């Protein structure tokens, strides 16, 4: 029987944020029987000349720290589930590029990593490595905020998902992933479509536009419902009024979901995927992990 997820890549730098991401990733790997790849990248510094004794000594020290970081995660995985296949790798390079290249070379299905941030008057976007992986990866990325940390891997829940949709191709691919995951993990799916009334207020015929947006939303929600029903997944769906990111974050809190599954969209002229502003804002502010599915991802 084929697996939904064959392999999960867990990049780590040994930080608390990375460990939060690792716990979620290991829990997902255990419940989907996926192989675990743990990678730590020692960042190559352009201001240092490789080959000299002093520089090589520095890199050797950094690589030793990286080895400790990957072994910590590997031991977490083995302790959580002795049946997991776990591989560790330490390499030198530009972290986000090395992560992306490893994922491509090893045909990784999901990259799972922690985000960095702080609360207060503002919120830091993402760690630069995580941000660049999210923008350029062609496979789903599980982005885990540090405040989503679980005390024990066994405590990680996947009971309820939030599946935002706008009816686009990217949202449909994300829905395929969300429903497939929900089917395997026996999760409940809540679909939501945002009716952004800021667009309506600027329209020449606001009533007609509002009606059209609501009709489009109902069509998008019905598509998700039908796919979930076909997969025997319990599903609910609702229209909500407001800016999409605000609606998603509010619904996530109201429903007390364990995971948000949503698509990314857009592409630059050089062929690299970047995050749509809605997805970026959700990942930046969410208190729960966000499973980000690029439109380049293969359907599960």
| Averaged pLDDT, 79-83 | 97
Number of domains within the chain: 2
Q: Are residues 42 and 133 in the same domain?
A: yes
3-state secondary structure of 141: strand
Do 293 and 242 share a structural domain? Answer: yes
Residues 124 and 143 grouped into a single domain: yes
- State pTM to two decimals: 0.90
| Residues 174 and 124 grouped into a single domain | no
Task: Tell me if 276 sits within 8 A of 283, measured CB to CB.
Answer: no
**Which residue, 149, 176, 204, sits at the end of a domain?**
149
Model confidence at 205, in pLDDT bands (50, 70, 90)?
A: low
pLDDT, residue 78, reads: 98
Q: Out of 16-20, 209-213, 220-224, which region has the weakest mean confidence (pLDDT)?
A: 209-213
Per the model's pLDDT, the better-predicted residue between 146 and 200 turns out to be 146
Q: Are residues 1 and 138 located together in one domain of the fold? A: yes
Eight-class DSSP state of 12: -
CATH assignment of the domain containing 70: 3.40.50.620
Helices 206-230 and 169-185, packing angle to 10 deg: 40
Q: In this structure, what are the phi and psi dihedrals at residue 94, rounded to the nearest 5 degrees?
A: -85, 120
pLDDT tens digits, 83-112? 999 999 999 999 999 999 999 999 999 999
Mean pLDDT computed over 10-37: 95
Assess whether pLDDT exceeds 90 at residue 203.
no
**Which of 100, 131, 149 represents a domain boundary (last residue)?**
149
Say if residue 215 is in the same domain as residue 139: no
Q: Is 115 found in the same domain as 47?
A: yes
Domain that holds residue 57: 1-149
Is the same domain home to 217 and 291?
yes
pLDDT at 52 over 80: no
> What share of the chain has pLDDT > 90, as a percent?
62
Output 143 or 17, whichever has higher pLDDT. Answer: 143
């Amino acid at each position: 029987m084929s697996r939904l997820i064959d392999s999960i890549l867990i990049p780590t730098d040994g930080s608390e944020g990375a460990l939060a991401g690792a716990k979620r990733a290991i829990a997902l790997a255990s419940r989907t029987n996926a192989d675990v790849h743990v990678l730590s990248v020692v960042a190559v510094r352009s201001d240092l000349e490789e080959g000299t004794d002093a520089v090589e000594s520095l890199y050797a020290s950094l690589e030793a720290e990286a080895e400790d970081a990957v072994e910590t995660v590997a031991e977490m995985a083995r302790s959580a589930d002795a049946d997991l296949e776990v591989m560790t790798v330490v390499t030198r390079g530009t972290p986000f590029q090395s992560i992306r290249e490893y994922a491509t070379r090893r045909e990784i299905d999901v990259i799972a990593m922690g985000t960095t941030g702080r609360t207060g008057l503002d919120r830091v976007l993402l760690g630069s490595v995580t941000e660049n992986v999210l923008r350029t990866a062609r496979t789903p990325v599980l982005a885990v905020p540090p405040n989503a940390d679980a005390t024990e891997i066994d405590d990680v829940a996947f009971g309820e998902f939030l599946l935002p949709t706008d009816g686009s191709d990217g949202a449909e691919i994300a829905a395929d992933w969300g429903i497939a995951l929900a089917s395997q993990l026996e999760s409940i799916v809540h679909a939501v479509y945002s009716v952004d009334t800021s667009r309506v207020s600027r329209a020449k015929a606001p009533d007609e536009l509002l009606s059209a947006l609501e009709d489009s939303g109902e069509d998008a929600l019905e598509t998700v419902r039908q796919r979930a029903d076909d997969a025997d997944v319990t599903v609910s769906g609702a229209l909500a009024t407001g800016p999409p990111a605000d609606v998603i974050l509010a619904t996530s809190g109201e429903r007390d979901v364990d995971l948000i599954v949503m698509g990314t969209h857009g592409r630059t002229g050089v062929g690299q995927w970047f995050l749509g502003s809605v997805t970026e804002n959700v990942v930046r502010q969410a208190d729960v992990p966000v499973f980000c599915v690029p439109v380049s991802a293969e359907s599960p």
